Structure 1
């Protein structure tokens, strides 16, 4: 049986390059890998886009992988297009129906769960936005101290300067019915994650019945420890091919 296609979905404040090390390793193992853009607008926009991408750009079985907010997107996109057979969550949200990201982070100890969001985020308007919506950028200090603290300083500075913003409305739009209720899932939990704290990640992953791997890493473990994400993805792919 042919190897499944691996589709890697990035999260907020990132782009497809956040998966480069993982993608290179998977390609060396013979997998076809695709890394679509995540629009970072809201799940009702982002999930249909990813589902459409998967439907049109893949044939045969697919392993759908999401990092951070990308986990929110794949939870909703997996039922919308293509032959998705397994889900992999890397330092990611694994929402149930009706949940939204700010709700999940509330009381979790996340560095983003603060009374005044402008202490951790820089906010800016954007053209044709829904009334009151803005884009959110991480303040550089948050990138250095809480988002990617286990990367070299130069890499952290690059992330801070090149980050793609997510809208505030993306963080308050509830999830639809979760694909993990019918698909097997795997999860990589960064034990030094300050954005989605490890206890919150574990709770969501356990609820989804995911096979969990832990790694001593920040919120971007797929950058600092790519082999751990690769192992989880290969395990998911192997469950398809037998």
Structure 2
């Protein structure tokens, strides 16, 4: 007898697979990404009142991952205005239980910290100020993760190859089989140089090159290509890494 829920899941997976080889759709998505980067499109959105500086595609993808993985702690690098802090915190509160968010930034500006701490979704949020690869910051993050069974790691701070690769080496041991380490702004590799002309990263020196290097020597993680095929455009192409080994 047909199961409508399983039938729907099967049809969805077939669509996702087909999108991955739809060159016309991929070309249109690539054009949108390139043009929207020029306009600062990612700065247009808020999460529960705070700027989130993300594409809606990736926000939805992260919502799906968090709901499916059910992490008991999310460790993220990069805070900016705090939208992602509150997004992760609100998702964990929806899951229930004593789950927590650890957010790290080298410069947490006072006005942003005040807005984040005053927000009703700030429950169980710890913000750490300092470089995400500083030994004391890393130690603090690991201390906060003690006793947690299912951490998720999200990297979105300094986007240079060297920095992101070091972040991946330092924080990947926290991630257990079935969970994810998500590396944002891998899209830099696919954009023209002028898109990052005023930044220390660029094509050839960015999160995607760091992911490529990391995966050469770490067999615990694989790219979740289903997410890429589903989203079609994303600031994290090939950056959704699933842990497949303990």
Flag whether TM exceeds 0.5 (same fold). Answer: no
Larger Cα Rg: Structure 1 or Structure 2? 2
Q: Where on the TM-score scale, by shorter chain, does this alignment land: which range?
A: 0.3 to 0.5
Richer in helix (by share): 2
Q: Tell me the TM-score normalized by structure 1.
A: 0.38
